[in-house]
Amino acid sequence: MTQLLEITGLKKQFGGLTAVNDVSFSVGEGEIAALLGPNGSGKTTVLNMISGALSPTAGTIALAGERISHLAPHRIAHKGVSRTFQLVKILPSLTVAENVVAALAFRRDPLWGSRATERAHELLAEVGLAGRGGEHADDLTYIDQKRMELARALAAEPRLLLLDEWLSGLNPTELRVGIDLIVSLRDRGMTILLVEHIMEAVRALCSRAVVMNVGNKIAEGPTAEVLADPVVISAYLGEGHA
Amino acid sequence: MTRTIIGFVLVGLALLALAFMPTQLGAYGVGLLLGMTGYVTLASAWALFSGPTRYISLATVAFFGIGAYTVAVLSEAMPYPLVLVTAGLIGLGVALVVGLATLRLAGVYFVIFSFGLAELVRQLVTWYEVNVTGTLGRYIFLPISATEIYWQLLGLAAITLLIGWWISRSRIGLALKVIGDDETVAAHTGIDISRVKLALFAISATIITLVGAIQAPRWTYIEPAIVFNPTVSFLTVIMALLGGANRLWGPMLGAIPLFLLFEWLSANFPNHYSIILGLMFIAIVFIVPRGVVALAEDLFKRARRKEAAQ
Amino acid sequence: MLLTALISGLVLGGTYALVAMGLTLQYGISRIMNLAYGEITIFAAFSAFILFSTFGINPLLGMAIVLPGAFVFGYLIYGVMMQPLVSRSSRTGSLEVDSILATFGLLFVIQGVMLITFGSNYTSYNYLNFGVNVLGANIAANRLLAFALAIVIGGVLFLVLTRTRWGTTIRAIAVAPASAPLVGINVNRTARFAFALGTMLAASGGVMVSMYQTFNASMGVVFTMKALVIVIMGGLGNLMGALVAGLLLGLVETFVATYVDPGLTLASTYLIFLVVLLWKPAGLFGKAAGR
């Protein structure tokens, strides 16, 4: 398998605090990988550096062999990286459809006008929001806002999709639907890196997992093996459980 | 679609009526109309950039003065239309330099820079005139009547509103809304935020420069203290804010009553003028921070909701 | 000549640094971007002038009258004008824009009052206007006094902020305004106090300026501008940065005025500002990014 995302020696410092320390891993083309770790372990910071929201203190991030670290977020988006946010970010003054049109209108090969509106409705249908494009983004429930955010991320037709706890907060039925949706995205050839706390979903979806703790990578490998690793268990549950 | 066409026809008719106004008015009336149209254009152009981005530009008079001074310097050396084009280009150039330096950063840097820009340009022009040309103050002898100036300003006002209308329907307009809602999302959906801001600032500043250039022949005598008068920046901001900087017609609705009020104030209270203005400005920030148009919309919506509830 | 320029530059820079420290207090702790800041400086300069020429009170004693007055004025302005904006901003998040607009209005009000009261002419008075030999350079005594005052006031302020419990409170707010209430800090009261203190510093700069420089009612903008440039150069909210940047600006201005052209001092200020923005937007001593 060729590697789509390659992260080498990634480091991020905020003042004196090192949030991410010398992390290296890669994600293969067409793979669903998980980035795991307890709260505050630096997972979201890693996602933020991949998407360009933060720029790394040191290290490199490459997409399909091309270096994308230190590019502005809009440039990285144009290279084919899309994401959702841990705390869902909607555009409250726009309608649901306009939220998606915004992403269509500014992707690398932009869509605009009636074609963009059509495509936005298709994408909304795909995430389970068929026929609701006219509603105000503000008025949606939290779960529906998450769906809309995914439709917005998909609008760019990304090569790499970053999902930051997108599945958390779903009830068991919705979780099933959500997992199926992610699988169907992979089957279309999309590469997905997800940060997730719901282990059931991680086991079902991800072939490989990377685990972080206090800014360091502590394990990497096939998901089942990694989750059985005593080091990982102790990181999650504290010393004494290993 | 038909509503758009009807709207355009109505606006066209209104413009035509306005163009004929000078034939019905005396010299004082034309002067008033000219000044009013100038401020409608300034406030609308200001709002093109500062409304959606919330980057408060306090540099209106810097560009206005650049326009006026360019005409004063070049009016004898070039044909008039070429002078206007040159003035516009100089304004555009300055806007690009200022924008490139400050618009990548947080809004406050831009505000600070724009705040002092007029004073800087004024001092530079003064220095240049005193040290290089040896005179402070210039005469403009251009055979352009007040009515002709008024017509040019009316045209520019119409163009400014047309640009505003076009932006609201274009991709740039959507980009601005997205930026206004959430800059992080904007950047992650592929919007080049600084470029959008720069483009709008450049358009806005060029129009403002042209207003100064077009109005210059009204003065006949020009010196830095006259054309770089900070009151112009101040009036522009207060007008746009009163009407509502986020609405197409807002700045215009703020500019007309305030211009008339200022004319009256400066005639009757020349000494207390700036105090009254300042107090009004503060009152507007407190009472109608989003402008009267947005306020009226809110009231209208509330009334309709009440109706629906009954 | 060089030595004279160097010492004059430091003297001027001392006043600038003091004025900028006040602005950095207002912006860093009270979160108010005060565009009427320089008007306070000029108003204080006029007050010192009136006290001296009409009542024969020397500027040193005058300070004892002007500074408490400025403090009270700042305290009132914050309560009447800023407090409502601050409480509104918890909902709209627009304190910065609102404060910029409101103080822009205030600028015109204060300037209008000054124009009516003091007229639009340049003003100055003679106080300690004789030369003193410093290391071979001839410097006016009033400038030296102003410099000494700047050092004393700035030094006391610095000690208070770094050595006292109250100073720690203030700096805590500057670093983490949202978390400060969690450790029992009354942000509102501290912000109001800091704003008033900033106003007082602006006024102290004004009294100093009046001792050695001519001034007029419409010069406030220039002082605000210089203070802002210094604050940005030093890094927003950074007191030590403001001090160093203030001295630096004073030196640059004096050198430009001496060796290039006095008409280009503001242009040189701006040039420095541009270079800093392009090269280090977080300020020469700042750590956080500009955005």
pLDDT in tens, C174-203: 777 777 777 777 878 888 999 999 999 999
Residues contacting A155, CB < 8 A, separation 6+? A100, A103, A104, A107, A119, A120, A123, B189
Q: Which of C104, C115, C291 to mutate to test the interface with B (most CBs of B within 10 A)?
A: C104
Of B113, B119, B238, the CB nearest to C266: B119
Q: Give yes or no for residue B113 having a pLDDT over 80.
A: yes
Put simply, whether C113 touches B (Cβ < 8 Å) is yes
Cβ-defined contact of B171 to A112 (cutoff 8 Å): yes
The answer to whether A94 contacts B181, with C-beta atoms less than 8 Å apart, is yes
Q: Does the distance separating the beta carbons of B190 and A108 come in below 8 Å?
A: yes
Provide, as residue numbers in chain B, all residues whose Cβ is less than 8 Å from the Cβ of A108: 190
A195: its two tokens: 């940060």
Nearest to C219 by CA among C231, C229, C210: C210
Contact at CB, A94 and B178, closer than 8 angstroms = yes
Q: Is the pLDDT score of C288 beyond 80?
A: no
Contact B259, C79 (CB under 8 A): no
Chain B with chain C: Cβ pairs closer than 8 A: 126
SS3 A5: strand
For the record, the structure tokens of A65 come out as: 């062999």
Asked if B103 and B194 touch (Cβ cutoff 8 Å), the reply is yes
d(C-alpha C274, C-alpha C256), whole Å = 17
Pick from A73, A91, A152: which is nearest to B181 by CB? A91
Q: Do B241 and C101 contact (CB within 8 A), yes or no? A: yes
* Residues of chain B numbered 257-296 and touching chain C (CB < 8 Å): 271-282, 285-286, 289
pLDDT value of residue A242: 44
Residue B248, min C-alpha distance to chain A (Å): 17
Mean pLDDT (chain C, rounded): 85
Distances (CA, A) of C228 to C9, C22, C222, C247: 19, 10, 10, 14
Question: What pLDDT score was predicted for residue A1?
Answer: 64
Name the nearest CA neighbour of C80 among C107, C47, C97, C103: C103
Chains A and B form CB pairs within 8 A to the count of 69
For domain B2-309, give the CATH number: 1.10.3470
Yes or no: say if C58 and C286 are a contact pair by the CB < 8 Å rule. Answer: no
Alpha helices per DSSP H over chain B: 2-24, 27-53, 60-74, 80-102, 107-128, 146-169, 171-181, 183-188, 193-215, 224-227, 231-243, 250-268, 273-287, 292-309
* pLDDT over 70 (residue C92): no
Phi and psi at A57, nearest 5°, equal: -75, -35
What span, in angstroms and rounded, lies between the C-alpha atoms of A185 and A205?
A: 11
Residue A85 to chain B, least CA–CA distance (Å):
9
B57, B61, B123: best to mutate for the C interface, most C CBs within 10 A: B123
Contact list in C for residue B278 (CB cut-off 8 A) is 105-112
Specify the higher pLDDT residue, B309 or B279: B279
Look at residue C289 in the predicted model and tell me its pLDDT: 36
- B180 contacts chain A (CB < 8 A): yes
Q: Across the interface, do B120 and C266 touch by the CB < 8 Å criterion?
A: yes
Do the Cβ atoms of B280 and B269 come closer than 8 Å? no
C278/B282 Cβ within 8 A:
no
Chains sharing 3 or more CB pairs under 8 A with chain C? B
**H-only helix segments in C29-164:** 37-55, 59-77, 83-92, 95-118, 141-163
Average pLDDT, integer, range C244-271: 87
CB A74 within 8 A of CB B183: no
Of B177, B180, B187, nearest to A74 by CB-CB distance is B187
CA distance A93 to chain B (A): 7
Return the percentage of chain C with pLDDT > 90, whole number: 28
pLDDT band for C285, please (50, 70, 90 cuts): low
Instruction: Tell me the per-residue pLDDT of B75-103, one tens digit each, with 9 for 90 and over.
Output: 888 899 999 999 999 999 999 998 988 88
Touching chains, A (3+ CB pairs < 8 A): B
- Are the beta carbons of C22 and C206 closer than 8 angstroms? no
Is the pLDDT reported for residue C290 higher than 60?
Answer: no
Q: Which residues of chain B lie closer than 8 angstroms to C105, CB-CB?
A: 238, 277-282, 285
Q: Do B113 and C273 touch (CB under 8 A)?
A: yes
Distant-in-sequence, close-in-space partners of B49: CB < 8 Å, separation ≥ 6: B55, B57, B197, B200, B201, B203, B204, B205
Whole-number CA gyration radius for chain C: 19
Q: Which residue of B has its CA nearest to C233?
A: B109
pLDDT reported for residue A208: 92
Establish if B195 touches chain C: CB-CB under 8 angstroms: no
Q: Tell if the CB–CB gap between A107 and B171 is shorter than 8 Å.
A: no
pLDDT in tens, B254-296: 999 999 999 998 889 888 888 998 998 899 888 888 888 888 8
Taking the Cβ of residue C282 and every Cβ of chain B, the question of whether any pair is shorter than 8 Å is answered with no
pLDDT band at B215 (very low <50, low <70, confident <90, very high): very high
Q: What is the dihedral of CA C245, C249, C255, C261, to 10 degrees?
A: 160
Angle between helices A96-105 and B171-181 (to 10 degrees): 120
CB–CB of C105 and B279 under 8 A? yes
Cα of A216 vs its chain's centroid, Å: 19
* Residue in chain C nearest B275 by alpha carbon: C109
Average pLDDT (B19-47) is 91
The domains found in chain A, sorted by start residue, are 3-80+158-237 (3.40.50.300), 95-157 (no CATH)
The distance of A229 to chain B (nearest Cα, Å) reads 35
| Closest A-chain CA to B174 | A102
Of C96, C225, C277, nearest to B116 by CB-CB distance is C225
Tens-level pLDDT at each residue, chain A (242 residues): 688 999 999 999 887 788 999 999 999 999 999 999 888 888 999 999 999 999 999 999 999 999 999 899 999 999 999 999 988 899 988 999 999 999 999 999 898 989 999 999 999 999 889 889 999 988 898 889 999 999 999 999 999 999 999 998 888 888 898 899 999 999 998 999 999 888 888 998 999 999 999 889 998 999 989 888 888 888 876 655 54
- Identify which of B174, B185, B190 has the shortest CB distance to residue A78: B190
Closest approach of chain B CAs to the CA of A77, in angstroms?
Answer: 5
Q: Taking CB atoms and an 8 Å limit, are C263 and B126 in contact across chains?
A: yes
CB contact under 8 A, C277 and B289: no
Report residue B310 as tokens. Answer: 């009954």
Task: Say whether A52 and B187 touch across the interface (CB within 8 A).
Answer: yes
The β-bridge partners of A63 are A5, A66
Are the beta carbons of A103 and B182 separated by less than 8 Å? no
**pLDDT (mean) for C33-41:** 93
Q: Do C111 and B271 touch (CB under 8 A)?
A: no
| Subunit contact B115:C225, Cβ cutoff 8 A | yes
Nearest to C193, CA basis, from C36, C82, C44, C41: C82
Over residues C138-165, the mean pLDDT reads 86
C20 contacts C37 by C-beta, under 8 angstroms: no
> Does the beta carbon of C112 lie under 8 angstroms from any beta carbon of chain B?
yes
Residues from chain C contacting residue B127 (CB–CB below 8 Å):
261, 263-264, 267
Distance CA A148, CA A102 (A): 12
CB contact under 8 A, B178 and A89: no
- C113 neighbourhood in chain B, CB within 8 Å: 275
Q: Is A67 helix (H, G, I), strand (E, B) or coil?
A: strand
B185 closest CB neighbour out of A91, A101, A110: A91
Length of chain A: 242
| Residue A66, SS3 per DSSP | strand
Identify the pLDDT of residue B252. 93
pLDDT band at residue C291 using 50, 70 and 90 as cut-offs: very low
Q: Read out DSSP for B129-169?
A: IIIII--S-EE------HHHHHHHHHHHHHHHHHHHHHHHH
Domain ranges of chain B: 2-309
| Interchain contact, B180 vs A93, CB within 8 Å | yes
Task: Give yes or no for a contact between C9 and C250, defined as CB atoms under 8 angstroms apart.
Answer: yes
Identity of the amino acid at B138: R
* B306 and chain A in contact, CB less than 8 A: no
| B291: region left, alpha or beta (phi > 0 left; psi from -120 to 50 alpha) | left
DSSP B34-74: HHHHHHHHHHHHHHHHHHHH------HHHHHHHHHHHHHHH
- Phi, then psi, of A22 in degrees rounded to 5: 50, 60
| β-bridge partners, A162 | A83, A193
- Angstroms from C108 CA to nearest CA on chain B: 5
